[in-house]
């Protein structure tokens, strides 16, 4: 299956590291303060924020001069004081199954990956929150890449905006309203542990959820954590999105290997935090992600133990056939094992969908993301 790879630069954003403050990614309060600091009269500031917000996040306009409901001199003031920048798309790969993987460059020349997965009834954008990762989950390609830095709120929101650019999803003034969204869901399941970059992720999701802009509902956003227990409740109270947990094992002995943060907050501690997750209900269940690794965590006993562990938690279990990557120390469980596992979970009353690997031909499947930043850093050190 040959993948179509596009090497050209898809958008011509201003250099991210432009010295001017970037309004992208600012919360409304931060933008209001910035506009006032740049000379906007205080009593006009709220209105100006609303106008700029709509241009940037509803119409997808990133040229101040095109914001025609603003006076010319005010547009000039904005252009003299601010920038509207999103990460630069370096490459876009399109898989034979329609999955798109973007390699995007951020400040400092670092790169992260963003994946768009179109399905019949939805379009999911998988976004990153760190360059590399704080953690080293042994089944995850990103886990082999040391943490370089957290993404800013602008770089997180910017991933959604550049994907909308590429998919042509910004509405056109005067054109009839398009009901079906191409990006109907966002998952924070890309590179990095989002709860180790809480504030930037929170602010970025507030921008994405804001009703006057991109307006994606909170239940259309799922944040996946490997188990940073102290930040779990805040996800509900300060972001309000759905929660997924990288669970992947039913004993501490195995989870210590697969998800080393388990040594800090083990299964019992994690489950206790999940049982207390604010707003938990059958309509807002927690998703337990479970990668199927041959001979590691895929026995019937594992399945029965998982059912016991979930008792009392409104949950669903996403079974992920392992997606191999160069040098990976594991193999995918057999189809029969995965289905037998799924049946046990399902018969116990939990939804247990088996995730269809997408974009494997372009290394876009779960756990396969890794940017070249590490290799570059290594080669830079050698030279
Ligand atoms: S699974 Fe998530 S938390 Fe674990 S190494 Fe990969 S990106 Fe980091």
The pLDDT value recorded for residue 83 is 97
**CA 339: distance to chain centroid?**
28
List all residues whose CB is within 6 A of at least one atom of ligand 1. Answer: 133, 135-137, 140, 142-143, 191-193, 226, 246
**pLDDT tens readout for residues 53-104:** 999 999 999 999 999 999 999 999 999 999 999 999 999 999 999 999 999 9
Q: Which atom in ligand 1 lies closest to the alpha carbon of residue 192? A: 7
Please provide the DSSP assignment of 288-312 as one string. EEEEEBTTTS-SHHHHHHHHHHHTT
pLDDT surpasses 90 at 293: yes
Q: Judge whether 318 and 287 are in contact, CB under 8 Å.
A: yes
The pLDDT value recorded for residue 372 is 55
What percent of the chain has pLDDT above 90? 80
- Interval 126-149 mean pLDDT: 91
DSSP state letter for 332: B
Average pLDDT, the chain: 91
Ligand 1 atom 5: residue of nearest CA: 143
Q: Judge whether 345 and 310 are in contact, CB under 8 Å.
A: no
Predicted TM-score of the model (pTM): 0.92
CATH 1.10.150 domain position(s) in the chain: 28-81
Q: Give catalytic status of residue 199 as yes or no.
A: no
Ligand 1 atom 4: residue of nearest CA: 137
d(C-alpha 254, C-alpha 256), whole Å: 5
Q: Which residues pair with 118 in a beta bridge?
A: 123
The pLDDT value recorded for residue 236 is 96
Q: Give 28-81's CATH code, choosing from 1.20.1630, 2.30.29, 1.10.150, 1.10.10.
A: 1.10.150
**Of 126, 140, 241, 366, which one is the catalytic site residue?**
366
- Kindly list the distances between the CA atom of residue 260 and the CA atoms of 136, 143, 245, in Å, as whole numbers in the listed order: 7, 11, 14
Strands (E) located in the chain: 4-6, 88-94, 100-105, 111-118, 123-126, 130-131, 149-150, 185-188, 221-225, 242-246, 286-292, 315-321
Q: Judge whether 297 and 254 are in contact, CB under 8 Å.
A: yes
What is the four-CA torsion angle of 133, 134, 140, 142, rounded to 10 degrees?
20
Phi then psi for residue 219, to 5 deg, are -80, 5
Band (pLDDT 50/70/90 cuts) for residue 323 is confident
Query: Ligand 1 centre from 367 Cα, in Å?
Result: 8
**Of 42, 111, 113, 284, which one is the catalytic site residue?**
113
- Burial call 326-345: b when 16+ CB within 10 Å, e when fewer: eebebebbeeebbeebbebb
CA dihedral sign, ordered 362, 367, 373, 376: negative
Q: Which atom in ligand 1 lies closest to the alpha carbon of residue 130? A: 7
Query: Ligand 1 centre from 191 Cα, in Å?
Result: 7
Query: Ligand 1 centre from 144 Cα, in Å?
Result: 9
Report residue 66 as tokens.
């095109």
DSSP state letter for 58: I
- Interval 367-373 mean pLDDT: 62
The pLDDT value recorded for residue 3 is 46
**pLDDT tens readout for residues 162-212:** 999 999 999 988 888 777 899 999 999 999 999 999 999 999 999 999 999
CATH 3.20.20.70 domain position(s) in the chain: 88-382
Q: Judge whether 162 and 11 are in contact, CB under 8 Å.
A: yes
Q: Give catalytic status of residue 113 as yes or no.
A: yes
d(C-alpha 140, C-alpha 144), whole Å: 7
Reading phi first (left if > 0) and then psi (alpha if -120 to 50, else beta), residue 310 is in alpha
d(C-alpha 360, C-alpha 47), whole Å: 46
CATH hierarchy code of domain 88-382: 3.20.20.70
**pLDDT tens readout for residues 205-234:** 999 999 999 999 999 999 999 999 999 999
- 195 closest CA partner among 230, 168, 166: 230
- 32 closest CA partner among 21, 44, 22: 44
Query: Ligand 1 centre from 182 Cα, in Å?
Result: 26
């Amino acid at each position: 299956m040959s993948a179509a790879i596009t090497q050209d630069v898809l958008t011509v954003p201003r250099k991210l590291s432009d010295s001017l403050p970037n309004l992208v990614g600012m919360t409304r309060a931060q933008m209001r303060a910035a506009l006032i600091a740049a000379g906007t009269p205080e009593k006009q500031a709220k209105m100006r924020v609303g106008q700029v917000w709509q241009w940037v996040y509803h119409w997808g306009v990133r040229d101040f001069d095109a914001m025609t409901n603003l006076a010319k001199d005010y547009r000039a003031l904005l252009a003299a004081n601010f920038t509207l920048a999103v990460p630069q798309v370096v490459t876009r790969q399109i898989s034979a199954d329609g999955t798109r993987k973007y390699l995007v460059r951020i400040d400092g020349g670092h790169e992260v990956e963003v994946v768009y997965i179109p399905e019949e009834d939805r379009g999911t954008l998988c976004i990153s929150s760190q360059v590399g990762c704080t953690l080293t989950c042994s089944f995850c390609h990103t886990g082999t890449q040391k943490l370089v830095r957290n993404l800013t709120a602008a770089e997180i929101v910017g991933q959604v905006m550049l994907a909308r650019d590429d998919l042509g999803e910004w509405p056109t003034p005067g054109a009839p309203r398009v009901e079906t969204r191409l990006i109907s869901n966002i998952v924070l399941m890309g590179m990095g542990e989002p709860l180790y970059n809480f504030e930037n992720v929170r602010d970025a999701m507030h921008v994405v959820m804001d009703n006057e802009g991109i307006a994606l509902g909170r239940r259309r956003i799922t944040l996946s954590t490997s188990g940073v227990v102290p930040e779990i409740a805040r996800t509900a109270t300060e972001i309000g999105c759905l929660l997924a947990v990288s669970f992947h094992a039913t004993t501490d002995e195995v989870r210590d290997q697969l998800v080393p943060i388990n040594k800090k907050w083990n299964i019992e501690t994690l489950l206790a935090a999940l049982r207390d997750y604010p707003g938990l209900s059958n309509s807002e269940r927690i998703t337990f992600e479970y990668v199927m690794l041959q001979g590691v965590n895929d026995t019937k006993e594992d399945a029965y133990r998982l059912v016991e562990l979930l008792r009392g938690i409104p949950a669903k279990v996403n079974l992920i056939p392992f997606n191999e990557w160069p040098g990976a120390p594991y193999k995918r469980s057999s189809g029969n094992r995965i289905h037998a596992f799924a049946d046990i979970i399902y018969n116990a009353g939990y939804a247990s969908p088996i995730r269809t690997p997408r974009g494997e031909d372009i290394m876009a499947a779960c756990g396969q993301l890794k940017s070249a930043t590490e290799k570059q850093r290594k080669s830079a050190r050698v030279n």
